[in-house]
Amino acid sequence: MTNAATPLSNRSKLRFGAGFLMAPLVAGALTFLIFLGQWYYGLNVFPTTPYSDPVDGAAALASGVTVIAFIATFGAAVPVVSVMSRRGSLSLRHVLILGAIIGQAPFALIVAAVVIVQTLTGSLSEVARLWGGVFGTVRAITLGVLIGVPSAGVFWLIGVRGSEFDRVRLTAKRREPERKLGDS
């Protein structure tokens, strides 16, 4: 296991840091591409964008998502991944699931905050204007998952794959006895 008893190499620490730094940048780049892709195919997923040029709208949304992604990465992903690494559970599957959860969490919190504030102020009808109602909520949370999972995958490729964390996971897998059909 990777814990205080087995110190990490400087290379692993650098890779981990680089992975955490790249994840929010990937989130911004993906948001930019998703925005332009939906515009190009005429899907009109972001209809309330005040920009006439789709590149301006994509850049604005991508900038906001990148800022939120940095906050989510260093406020939530770093502590959770630190705990997971001590437990030796940094498999690609676990990291991607974490990316989906953390990717959609800021959007879900923003939507919940809008609904709560609008309910408390008595102007719940404004939610539809601000977020596009149910469609806007689903759109925001789906965008969070679409950018969270690949960002987590990039983190795993840079920070975990082939590192000491990956070797710990692979070694633990080899030590587990194989179960045969019918064993309980």
* 90 domain residue, yes or no: yes
* 159 domain residue, yes or no: yes
* 103 domain residue, yes or no: yes
Burial 69-97 (b: 16+ CB within 10 A, else e): bbebbeeebeeebeebbeeebbbeebbbe
Tokens encoding 96:
């991607």
Position 48 scores a pLDDT of 58
* 1 domain residue, yes or no: no
Compute CA distances 68 → 8, 24, 64, 121, whole Å: 29, 8, 6, 26
* 3 domain residue, yes or no: no
Task: State the total domains in the chain.
Answer: 1
* 162 domain residue, yes or no: yes
Tokens encoding 3:
């814990």
* 2 domain residue, yes or no: no
What tens-digit pLDDT sequence spans the chain (184 residues)? 444 445 667 887 888 889 999 999 999 999 999 988 888 887 777 765 666 788 888 898 899 999 999 999 999 998 998 888 887 778 889 999 999 999 999 888 887 887 788 778 877 666 566 666 777 778 888 888 999 999 999 999 998 888 777 765 555 555 555 555 655 5
Tokens encoding 86:
């001590």
Range of the domain at 99: 10-172
